[in-house]
Amino acid sequence: MGVITPGFTGRARGGDPRLPPGQYLTEDFPVLSAGPTPRVNLDKWEFSVTTEKGEKRSWSWHEMTALPSEKFTVDIHCVTQWTKLDTRWRGVPVATLLGDADTEADYVMARSYGGYTTNMPLADLLDGQAWVVYEYNGKPLSPEHGGPARLLVPHLYFWKSAKWVRGLQLTTKDEPGFWETAGYHDYGDPWREQRYQGD
C-alpha cells in the first residue's frame, strides 16, 4: 500500500447500524494510494465512456461540470477498516454519463490517470448508486482524495471508488483491476466483509 495519513484515529463499532462489520468510525479522511498522486491539468482533463463495441463518448472538464449534478451525503467504508459517516459530495450520476449508450455489457472497468483500474458490475453504477464527483464538503476535490474527479460507489469498499478517474470501459466479461489482481475481492461488499478473494 502506498501512502497512509499518519496519526489517523478511529473508534470501534458501537452498535451504530450504519457501520458494517469489522469497521471503525473515524472523523478523519485517511489518504491511501497505490502510487504517486497524479496532477491533472483541467485544460487537458477528459472523461470518456467506451462501449464493448468501441464506441466512445467524451467530456472535457467544462462539459462535465456543466452537466446536471447532484449534492448528496453518504457513508464511505475502506477495506482497511475505517468508515466515515455523512460525507458530502457533488457530482454527476454515472447513469447520466451512460445516457443512451448502445451496450449489452454487464461489467465496467474504471480507469484512472496514473494507471489505476478497478472492476464492478454495471448494475452497481446505475439507479443513483454511483457518481463522478468533483466536490467534497462544498470545495473542489483535492488531488489527495482523487481530484479533480473520482468515481464514487459508496455501497462498495472505497477502493472501487477510483481516484483520478478518466473513464469507464464497458465490457461483457468481468476482468480484475489493480487490487483485484493482487487478491482483493472482485465485488467488495462491506456488509459481507468481502475484502479478499474467498471472503
CA 49, 50, 51, 55 torsion-angle sign = positive
Write down the pLDDT at residue 8: 40
Residue 118 pLDDT greater than 70, yes or no: yes
Residue 4 pLDDT greater than 60, yes or no: no
Write down the pLDDT at residue 12: 47
Instruction: Show the domain range for 125.
Output: 22-29+42-192
Count up the domains in the chain and report the number: 1
Residue 9 pLDDT greater than 70, yes or no: no
Write down the pLDDT at residue 189: 98
**CATH number of the domain where residue 91 is located:** 3.90.420.10
Write down the pLDDT at residue 33: 72
How much is the pTM? 0.90
What does 104-122 look like in DSSP terms, one character per residue?
A: ---EEEEEETTS-EEEEEG
- Could you tell me if residue 186 is inside a domain? yes
Question: Per-residue pLDDT averaged across 44-69, rounded?
Answer: 97
pLDDT tens, position by position, 144-197: 999 999 999 999 999 999 999 999 999 999 999 999 999 999 999 999 999 999
Contact between residue 168 and residue 49 where contact means Cβ atoms under 8 Å apart = yes
Residue 15 pLDDT greater than 90, yes or no: no
Cα 64 to chain centroid, rounded: 17
- Could you tell me if residue 197 is inside a domain? no
- Could you tell me if residue 16 is inside a domain? no
Question: Per-residue pLDDT averaged across 104-116, rounded?
Answer: 97
Write down the pLDDT at residue 14: 55
Q: Give which of 55, 1, 6 is closest to 169, Cα–Cα.
A: 55
- Could you tell me if residue 103 is inside a domain? yes
Mean pLDDT across the chain, nearest whole number?
91
- Could you tell me if residue 76 is inside a domain? yes
Q: In percent, how much of the chain has pLDDT > 90?
A: 84
- Could you tell me if residue 1 is inside a domain? no
